[in-house]
Amino acid sequence: MLSDRTSLAGVAKTAASLACELLDADGATVSQVMGNAVKYIAAVGSASAIAERTLPIADSFTGVVIESKEPMVFDPRAAPASSVARAREDVIRSGIVCPIILEGRVVGTIGVLSQNPHRFDDVAVVRLSEFARFLSIGLDRNLDHQRLERADHFYRLGQLANHVVENVDAPLGSLLASLGSAREVTRTLETAARTDLDCWLMQAFQDLEAIHRLVADLRMFATDDSARLPVDIDALAILEKVCDSLRTRIERVALFDLIVPPTLPHVRAVPGRLWQICYALLVNAVEAIEANPRGHHSIVVEAAEEDAPLNLTVRDTGKGIAPADIELIFEPFFSTKHNRDRGGLGLTMVWRYLDALGGTIRVESELGSGSTFFVCIPSIAPTAHL
């Protein structure tokens, strides 16, 4: 496990404290971009009240910084009205906000603030920009550390899963075949006896099929396909095929909308992985609504190309995820569903495949209102076919 000092929150708090001290500010913040909002993961000094708050990016000074990817000095005369109102409420008269850029994408911001209207000059902007750059390096190393730990975790689980598959698959297949034969025999019994016995056999058959599906998931989890060569894949074609294959199931529980441009970038991946990523995310959305069936629901899938990567969003109005569970949903065998037939491996496989592709995934969720998954996959130029 990572210590508090090397965790994301620990790195952010240390950076905010140092920035506040070195620039003689009254307060400092570090935020993380989460879709259309930012979450303040660290706040010190006079800004401490904003810690853990999530605020929309739209029509905000922070949003302007994120859009421009450049550090900016806060000027109440030119800032968006919502930011001016918050500044007035918190008695902020000057400040600087710098973007934290990782792999060409703004992942957050670091800012300092003061009640003095003339506290910061151009030198302070340069110093905070350097701070943001070093913070991005620290976060990058933090992510590398997490990836290494997780890779070792998955390797050990893969060995365990392979052992389970080898020892359970054959007897399980034999049991399923025997149950099928027993159900055929019940057809020769008298009606009353046949009804009771058939119900028991049906329940046993369903339970064993659930175990069989789990074993199939474990086999896929334990399979090392790293030696398979990646190929040029048309992301739009895969996404449309996955949506078509699940459309009937989706439309039983929700209105469905697929929003995509005429073309999408190609990605380079092992065959089948992009399909499994899209399929697992859509099934997860359907199951979230099946667990919270009351009312009108919707599932929206959006795909767009921004700054080269393929950006995929899957949004549902299902039961949502409790804040305490957000950090656990990509762990093997963790599930928030009462019906755990799939064994809690779907999102784990999504994370594993995306990590192999150099992609990322994050989630925003509100309990009782639904969840949104944001996926980013590096794209490539389509291969010319002669």
Query: How many structural domains compose the chain?
Result: 3
Start-to-end Cα distance in the chain: 51
Shared domain check, 185 and 251? no
Order of all β-strands in the sheet with 298-305: 255-259, 298-305, 310-316, 370-377, 360-366
Answer yes or no: do 238 and 334 share one domain.
yes
CATH number of the domain where residue 126 is located: 3.30.450.40
Domain boundary among 109, 127, 143: 143
Residue 385 covered by a domain: no
Instruction: Flag whether 126 is in a domain.
Output: yes
Is the domain of 201 the same as that of 250? Answer: no
User: Residue 258: inside a domain, yes or no?
Assistant: yes
| Same domain for 357 and 322 | yes
Least confident among 11-20, 151-160, 189-198, 239-248: 151-160
Same domain flag for 32 and 68: yes
Q: How far apart are CA 257 and CA 300, in angstroms?
A: 5
Quick check: is 216 in a domain?
yes
* pLDDT higher than 60, residue 44: yes
State the Cα–Cα distance between residues 60 and 42, nearest whole angstrom: 19
Distances (CA, A) of 20 to 86, 262, 353: 20, 48, 40
Q: Which residue has the higher pLDDT, 3 or 167?
A: 167
Residue from 352, 361, 342, 357 nearest 221 by CA: 352
Which residue, 118, 129, 121, 100, is CA-closest to 38? 100
Q: How sure is the predictor about 83, in pLDDT bands with cuts at 50, 70 and 90? A: low
Where among 165, 197, 222 does a domain terminate? 222
Span 208-234, pLDDT tens digits? 666 666 665 555 555 555 556 677 888
Among the three residues 163, 187, 222, which one is the final residue of a domain in this structure?
A: 222
- Assess whether 161 and 37 both reside in one domain: no
237 and 373 both lie in a single domain? yes
CATH number reported for the structural domain that contains residue 248 in this entry: 3.30.565.10
- Give tens-digit pLDDT for 276-330: 889 889 989 998 898 777 788 999 999 986 656 788 999 999 989 888 788 778 7
296 shares its domain with 199: no
Task: Identify whether 2 is part of a domain.
Answer: no
CB–CB of 176/204 below 8 Å?
A: no
Query: Residues 179, 278: one domain?
Result: no
Structural domain boundaries enclosing 283: 231-377
Residue 1 clears pLDDT 50, i.e. is over it: no
Domain identity same for 191 and 262: no
Residue 261 · residue 305 · CB < 8 Å? yes
* pLDDT (average), residues 91-97: 80
316, 271: one domain? yes
Tell me whether residue 1 is in a domain. Answer: no
Q: Does residue 239 sit within a domain?
A: yes
Residue 351, φ and ψ in degrees, nearest 5: -60, -45
Q: Is residue 3 part of a domain?
A: no
Whether 134 and 154 map to the same domain: the answer is: no
Which residue's entry shows tokens 């949506």? 243
